[in-house]
Amino acid sequence: MRIKRKYKKPYHFQILYRSESGIPNIAKDEVFVRLFDYKSVWTSNYGRIIQKLDDGTYQLVKGVYSRTTKELTYTLDRNVYFKSKNRWGYRKEKVTASSLVIQMFVVNYDMKNNTMVWHKNNDMKDNYYKHLFPVTDKQYNEILRVHEQDGTITDKQIMENVNAVEFKPDDWKPWYNKRTYEGVGYVGGDIDYESYSFIKWKNMIQRCYSDVVHKLKPYYMDKEVCIEWQNYQNFKIWFDAHYIPGTKVDLDKDLLYKEGNIYSPETCAFMTHFLNTVFEDRGIESNIQQNDDGTYSVSINVLNKKVDIGVFDTEEEAHTGFIDGKIDYICDLAEKCKGKVPNYVYEGMLNYKIEITD
């Protein structure tokens, strides 16, 4: 499998626009996207960081250049699960601008082994996304050697290096990249076939690409898995950061991006089956019942449990009542879940919009 240089296109719900932040762009193509695993911060494709303060205003975050790596580094609050407290909270973390830019704007085929970043022309102050290359230590050393020898190295030469067998990790095996799962998914490295993470990954791949699954559940036919998650090792990194050991969860892709049909680290969240069921779109008519006196009773159903919303005089009022009632129910549920789920899931619940399908 030859790797091709590809970039990510941000989803609209991730973007922080200048009209809201009030912070001018440094270039026409600069765009700020939300980092869901950090507290109220957005990174741009140039490596700048904007933070939303408690008073609702926005400011640029000041980074520092590391004396050892020369990388621009930020200290941010990362949302993590504290096992001792059995809750999600925040922990200070130092993170490089280049790693954040690659995470949000560059397709990284091998997150496990790509521990280095090559900056175009070896300019460590250049964090523009098209000038950053996630590489292994072997690849980095060879790129650096060529650059120092010739005084430059082209993007084509870099990608030839990335695809060269001699610069792969020591434990690399060709079959790791063979598309053995529905012609799309590949294991990417050593694997525990009985692990919960692998089972979740395999089910995701089958859901999107298996003809057998599509015959039973045709509504999955237009769904897909992002390039990065086609490699199980990449999915496992995200899984390990977001999964609470011992829990049973669904992999949801609709809470953050209802219009999307893609499983990716930018669109997915782990949720209990109960929560996932709450966000299923059902026909409104099944939730409205006309009474003998001409009024309309409205309810919602969650795991076959009926939750009454109210009684309304007209069908139009019943439709509005259903929307308002379900939003109130979800907001109340969000407050009960606060700290028990990652903060971006909590925010997604509070911002959830109801779409009516008949």
Residues 187-200: pLDDT tens digits?
Answer: 999 999 999 999 99
In the 8-state DSSP scheme, what is residue 341? B
Are 58 and 47 spatial neighbours (Cβ–Cβ below 8 Å)?
A: no
If DSSP states are collapsed to H, E and C, what string results for 308-338?
EEEEECCHHHHHHHHHHHHHHHHHHHHHHHE
Give the tens place of pLDDT for each residue, 280-320. Answer: 766 566 688 889 899 999 988 888 788 899 999 998 999 89
Instruction: Give yes or no for residue 15 having a pLDDT over 80.
Output: yes
Per DSSP bridges, beta strands 250-252 and 224-225 are unpaired
* pTM > 0.85: yes
Instruction: Give yes or no for residue 351 having a pLDDT over 70.
Output: yes
pLDDT band at 356, cuts 50/70/90? low
Cα–Cα distances in angstroms (integers) from residue 12 to residues 1, 8, 100, 156, 206, in the given order = 31, 12, 18, 31, 28
From the CB of residue 145, how many other CB atoms can be counted at a distance below 10 Å? 12
Q: Indicate the length of the chain as a whole number.
A: 358
Give the tens place of pLDDT for each residue, 208-241. Answer: 999 999 999 998 999 999 999 999 999 999 999 9
Partnered with residue 80 across adjacent β-strands are 89
Give the tens place of pLDDT for each residue, 150-187. Answer: 999 999 999 999 999 999 998 899 999 999 999 999 99
Which token pair is 197?
């993470």
Burial degree of 178 (CB within 10 A; 0-12, 13-18, 19+): exposed
Instruction: Give yes or no for residue 348 having a pLDDT over 70.
Output: yes
Instruction: Give yes or no for residue 355 having a pLDDT over 70.
Output: no
From the CB of residue 113, how many other CB atoms can be counted at a distance below 10 Å? 21
pLDDT of residue 357: 52
Please state which of the ranges 43-47, 129-133, 333-337, 353-357 shows the lowest mean pLDDT.
Answer: 353-357
Mean pLDDT of the chain: 94
Nearest to 143 by CA among 131, 155, 129: 155
pLDDT band at 89, cuts 50/70/90? very high
From the CB of residue 118, how many other CB atoms can be counted at a distance below 10 Å? 21
Are 116 and 140 spatial neighbours (Cβ–Cβ below 8 Å)?
A: yes
Ordered structural domains, the chain, with CATH:
12-167 (3.90.75.20), 174-271 (no CATH)
What is the chain's alpha carbon radius of gyration, rounded to the nearest angstrom? 23
Nearest to 240 by CA among 191, 274, 196: 196
DSSP 295-308: -EEEEEEETTEEEE
Nearest to 277 by CA among 300, 243, 244: 300
Mean pLDDT across 127-134? 98
